[in-house]
């Protein structure tokens, strides 16, 4: 099973930054056991939502030829819980990298109603998008997420 953890892309600047939304609903299957009677979005899925957003930034900025694979979480801090009914605003920016090459360093922040819930710095490897996903399908999804399709 694959979780798509970005529900909308609000804006983006190729090669630099992207901002999106994750709506957390009570029907998310991961909430059933995390935690029983006290549903909380798992922190690792918050990280994954930010990594996915970085992946969209890389894909769209490369004309859907490149994608990203998470290689390391450098630093992560949590500041509270993301609960059912919350709308998490996600922001990711690419950081300057001394390594260059095919590696990206990213900084991400997630907030609910203006209150920071997560801050993470991670590394990701650029890979050909076609090795991960069907590029044309990903471009179509991106147009839906950014509302470029005229919905």
The catalytic residues are: 34
Please give the Cα distance from 72 to 81 (Å, whole number): 23
- In Å, what is the CA distance from 111 to each residue of 14, 19, 70, 81? 22, 11, 21, 10
Letter string b/e over residues 72-109, b meaning 16 or more CB atoms within 10 A of that residue's CB: eeeebeeeeebbeebebbbbbbbeeeeeeeeebbbbbb
Please give the Cα distance from 68 to 132 (Å, whole number): 9
**Residue showing tokens 């004309």:** 63
């Amino acid at each position: 099973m694959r979780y798509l953890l970005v529900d909308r892309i609000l804006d983006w600047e190729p090669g630099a930054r992207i901002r999106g939304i994750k709506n957390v609903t009570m029907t998310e299957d991961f909430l059933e056991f995390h935690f029983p009677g006290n549903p909380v979005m798992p922190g690792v899925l918050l990280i994954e939502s930010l990594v996915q957003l970085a992946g969209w930034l890389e894909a769209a900025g490369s004309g859907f030829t490149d994608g990203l694979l998470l290689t390391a979480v450098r630093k992560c801090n949590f500041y509270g819980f993301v609960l059912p009914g919350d709308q998490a605003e996600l922001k990711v920016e690419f950081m300057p990298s001394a390594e260059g090459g095919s590696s990206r360093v990213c900084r991400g922040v997630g907030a609910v109603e203006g209150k920071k819930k997560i801050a993470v710095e991670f590394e990701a490897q650029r890979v050909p998008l076609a090795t991960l996903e069907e590029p044309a399908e990903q471009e179509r999804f991106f147009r839906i997420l950014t509302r470029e399709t005229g919905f």
